[in-house]
């Protein structure tokens, strides 16, 4: 989720040009795989696209669920102090009655048995022969509760709070990354659309020249070589336009995946690659040292690394807390019913008074202390040492992440300043190339300029247009990258 290394480049150029003027454009549009569930019903601005993604992105919804789980754990953190409670119910049949257990209840049972021939009570010695099989059954209910109190319980509550803060940072970072990806993809599509327009206009110019050269040749006013050269130029430009359209179509498909739109759904993007002159002016005046000092500690990757270090440090202390004794409070009860299937057990007060007889229930207070962890080389001791080392490694990782983040900020600011300056020069070059192409075209139409002169001027104009377009795209993409790298709003870091 985080990026802690300095990127090697901002974006792949939209169009690459050779020294011969033959255009071979390449765009690497990387779809992040985020899904949206609703398609826009009107023109889509870059802010609209970001809001749509935030509302429907499946990856962000996953992070929301993870954060909700951590929030529940934080809000109910006190449940670590709850005692354990369990109940059970057991029905058993004795293979043989233990008559000693029945001496106390014998008079009541004897009153419910038939008298002997002399009319007296049945002696206890003959009791076992007189009982019915119902007396072999016993039904018991068990209750067991235990409350453990030690330092590790409270350390675990602290760990829950740390986990929640880390999950919140991760969710916010995912939201910021989604915003960055959508903005970059949006501007890439705008650049592709304009680049396609450049290729279409240049193909139209080549077609017009070919038709004019063919007309002159057919009328005997021009050479066949000029007509063939114009036709070759026109035919060579058609595959370039086809490739450009395929690239744009591929990028559009990727953007639909990003917004979870149906394949082939129309995209009405509303926006421009132009960067406000005031922003470009502000970029040239940025103090990168002040920017680094102010924002580097608030970066998403730095926050995540700090959360990891804090978590590992707390886990090491949690492991060490296990060396201290625990105070255990316990209470158990196992009331039981003798002969539950005998009607007299429930109806005859003489028998029912012995129901739910308590035999083994008790309240206990135990002080438990596991001492083997204090032995040299014990498993617990080794684990504690390992966790402490991991915490130290994570603390060093925070410093490394911070250094990498500082380098990334400096790199991105350098690229922004370079692009702001380059756009001024490329704007002048574009104006000159436009005027040169216009004058050369007029001279070609008048017969004072050759076809090669017109072709060279045309290629220079196309190169100037695409270079300016690439630099605009680089500036917009770098702005989005710096927003994410600083974890701050653009108005805050640009004018703050």
Name the residue with tokens 């009607």.
Answer: 343
Residues in the chain: 496
DSSP 220: T
3-state secondary structure 273-325: CCCCHHHHHHHHCCCHHHHHHHHHHHCHHHHHHHHHHHHHHHHHHHHHHCCCC
Cα–Cα dist 422/419, whole Å:
5
Query: Residue 363: left (phi > 0), alpha (psi -120 to 50), or beta?
Result: beta
Model pTM score: 0.75
Helix (H, G, I), strand (E, B) or coil at 251: helix
Instruction: Read off the tokens for 425.
Output: 């020069």
The full set of domains in the chain, from first to last, is: 15-85+151-324+373-495 (1.20.1600.10)
- Determine contact, residues 351/102, Cβ cutoff 8 Å: no
Tell me the HSE value of 287 on the side-chain side, using a 13 A CA sphere.
Answer: 6
Q: What is the pLDDT along the chain (496 residues), one digit of tens a residue?
A: 333 333 333 344 454 343 333 333 333 233 333 333 344 444 789 998 888 888 888 888 899 999 999 999 999 999 989 999 999 999 988 887 665 555 555 555 555 555 555 555 545 444 444 556 677 888 888 999 999 999 999 999 999 999 999 999 999 999 999 999 999 999 999 999 999 988 898 888 888 888 888 888 888 878 888 889 888 988 998 999 999 999 999 888 888 877 777 787 788 899 889 888 888 888 888 899 999 999 999 999 999 999 999 999 999 999 899 889 999 999 998 888 888 888 878 887 777 776 776 667 889 999 999 888 888 888 888 999 999 999 999 999 999 999 999 999 999 999 999 998 899 899 999 999 999 989 988 887 887 888 788 888 888 898 899 999 999 999 999 999 999 999 999 888 987 6
């Amino acid at each position: 989720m985080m990026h802690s290394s300095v990127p090697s480049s901002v974006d792949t150029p939209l169009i690459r040009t050779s020294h011969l003027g033959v255009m071979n454009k390449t765009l690497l549009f990387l779809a992040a795989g985020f899904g949206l569930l609703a398609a826009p019903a009107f023109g889509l601005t870059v802010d609209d696209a970001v809001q749509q993604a935030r509302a429907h992105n499946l990856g962000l919804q996953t992070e929301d669920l993870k954060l909700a789980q951590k929030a529940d754990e934080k809000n109910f953190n006190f449940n670590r102090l709850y005692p354990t409670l369990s109940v059970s119910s057991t029905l058993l049949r004795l293979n043989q009655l233990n008559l000693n257990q029945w001496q106390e209840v014998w008079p009541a049972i004897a009153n419910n048995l038939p008298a002997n021939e002399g009319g007296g009570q049945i002696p206890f010695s003959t009791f076992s022969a007189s009982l019915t099989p119902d007396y072999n059954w016993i039904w018991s209910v068990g209750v067991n509760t235990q409350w453990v109190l030690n330092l590790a319980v409270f350390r675990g509550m602290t760990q829950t709070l740390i986990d929640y803060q880390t999950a919140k940072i991760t969710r916010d970072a995912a939201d910021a990354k989604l915003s960055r990806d959508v903005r970059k993809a949006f501007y890439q599509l705008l650049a592709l659309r304009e680049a396609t327009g450049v290729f279409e206009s240049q193909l139209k110019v080549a077609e017009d020249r070919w038709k004019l050269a063919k007309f002159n040749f057919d009328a005997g006013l021009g050479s066949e070589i000029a007509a063939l050269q114009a036709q070759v130029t026109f035919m060579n430009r058609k595959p370039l336009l086809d490739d450009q359209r395929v690239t744009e179509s591929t990028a559009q498909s990727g953007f639909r995946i990003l917004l979870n739109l149906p394949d082939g759904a129309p995209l009405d993007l509303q926006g421009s690659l132009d960067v406000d002159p005031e922003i470009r002016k502000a970029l040239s005046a940025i103090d990168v040292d002040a920017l680094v000092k102010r924002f580097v500690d608030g970066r998403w990757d730095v926050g995540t690394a700090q959360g990891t270090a804090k978590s590992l440090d707390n886990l090491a202390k949690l492991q060490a807390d296990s060396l201290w004794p625990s105070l255990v409070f316990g209470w158990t009860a196992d009331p039981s019913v003798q002969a539950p299937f005998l009607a007299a057990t429930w109806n005859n007060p003489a028998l029912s008074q012995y129901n739910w007889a308590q035999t083994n229930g008790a309240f206990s207070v135990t002080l438990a202390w596991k001492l083997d962890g204090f032995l040299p080389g014990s498993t617990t001791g080794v684990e504690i040492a390992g966790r402490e080392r991991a915490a130290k490694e994570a603390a060093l990782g925070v410093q490394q992440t911070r250094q990498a983040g500082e380098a990334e900020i400096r790199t991105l600011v350098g690229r922004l300043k370079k692009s702001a300056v380059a756009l001024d020069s490329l704007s002048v070059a574009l104006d000159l190339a436009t005027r040169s192409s216009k004058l050369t075209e007029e001279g070609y139409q008048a017969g004072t300029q050759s076809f090669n002169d017109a072709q060279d001027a045309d290629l220079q104009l196309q190169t100037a247009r695409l270079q300016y377009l690439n630099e605009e795209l680089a500036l917009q993409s770098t702005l989005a990258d710096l927003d994410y790298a600083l974890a701050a709003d653009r108005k805050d870091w640009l004018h703050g």
